[in-house]
Structure 1
Amino acid sequence: MQPTQTQLKKRIKRWLIFLMVGLVLSGITAFPIESELALAMHNLGAFSPKMQQWLTTIYNAVKTTNAQYPYLSYGTDWLAFAHIIIALIFVGPLRDPVRNIWVLQFGMIACVLIFPLALIAGPIRHIPIFWQLIDCSFGVVGIIPLYMAYRQTKKLEYI
């Protein structure tokens, strides 16, 4: 039995809301980065030794940078803002998925491009491979709801 137009639109909406909430949440966590790292430092025992070392290094770098050059954190503020704005882009497909299918395609392309960015820039910036893989996981987690919404939109297109 073929899903109805209403059912397809509901499925698309659920997938996109999941994606949008994820983008906003991951974005707003960039604002209090030093506080979040301080919290992680108080709970280091929950992490593997390699992760403990990495978190300690990052915390010291962020804390020192914020103390001496606080304006550099403005970059992570813009990162947070970009996540929120990217989430807003998906309002178009929420309203009219067929007409705005290009936004879903754009999102899937962006998710795929996370891999070369993480795997090329990561070594250049001395990011450990396990962290590069964590970054790549955002591409995997992001492409799933986008692809599901895209598939439902293609079905909707022919109803």
Structure 2
Amino acid sequence: MHDWLTNVYLAVKTTNQNYPYLAYGTDWLAFGHLVIAMAFVGPLKNPVKNIWIIEFGMIACVMVFPLAFIAGPIRGIPVYWRFIDCCFGIFGIIPLYIVYRDIKKLEKMINQNIAPLH
């Protein structure tokens, strides 16, 4: 693992020294994450109407696996690192599923005209 981290560090250092404009892409990546995160405010405001955002998040968690195991070997990412990447999908889907399940219960209560308990 030390060799891999050293290799990654040298790659980032060399890239930043010789091609600093490439880091601009990571700025946009961070911006994209913030924009996607803003969408998750929707389920806080109206969970039943915005359940699709939770489903979107769950789908994204599942999509981590094919990306890690298809793009990982192409990019030369070690297998153990791909498993670490997959943990984001596993640990991300758990709270999303809990929220999804609770929204479905809330939807059922609303459809039966039962006031939700707070």
Segments of 5+ residues of structure 1 without an aligned counterpart are: 1-50
Count of paired positions: 109
Task: Please state if 1:127 is matched with 2:77.
Answer: yes
Q: Give the Cα separation in 2 of the matches to 1:91 and 1:72.
A: 31
Task: Summarize deviations over 1:53-110 as a string: whole Å, max 9, x none.
Answer: 1110000000000000001111211221122111111000011110001111111001
Q: What SS class does the counterpart of residue 127 from structure 1 fall into?
A: coil
TM-score normalised by the chain length of structure 2: 0.89
- The one-letter amino acid paired with 1:130 is Y
* Moved >3 Å (runs of 4+): none
Percent identical residues: 67
Mapping 1:137-156, distance limit 5 Å: 137-156=87-106
Q: CA deviation at 1:117?
A: 0.5
Higher relative contact order (CA 8 A, sep 6+): 1
TM-score normalised by the chain length of structure 1: 0.67
Partner residue in 1 for 2:113:
none
Task: Please state if 1:85 is matched with 2:73.
Answer: no
Q: Give the Cα separation in 2 of the matches to 1:77 and 1:54.
A: 24
Segments of 5+ residues of structure 2 without an aligned counterpart are: 110-118
- The one-letter amino acid paired with 1:148 is I
Q: What SS class does the counterpart of residue 85 from structure 2 fall into?
A: helix
Mapping 1:97-108, distance limit 5 Å: 97-108=47-58
Task: Please state if 1:71 is matched with 2:21.
Answer: yes
Q: Give the Cα separation in 1 of the matches to 2:25 and 2:82.
A: 20
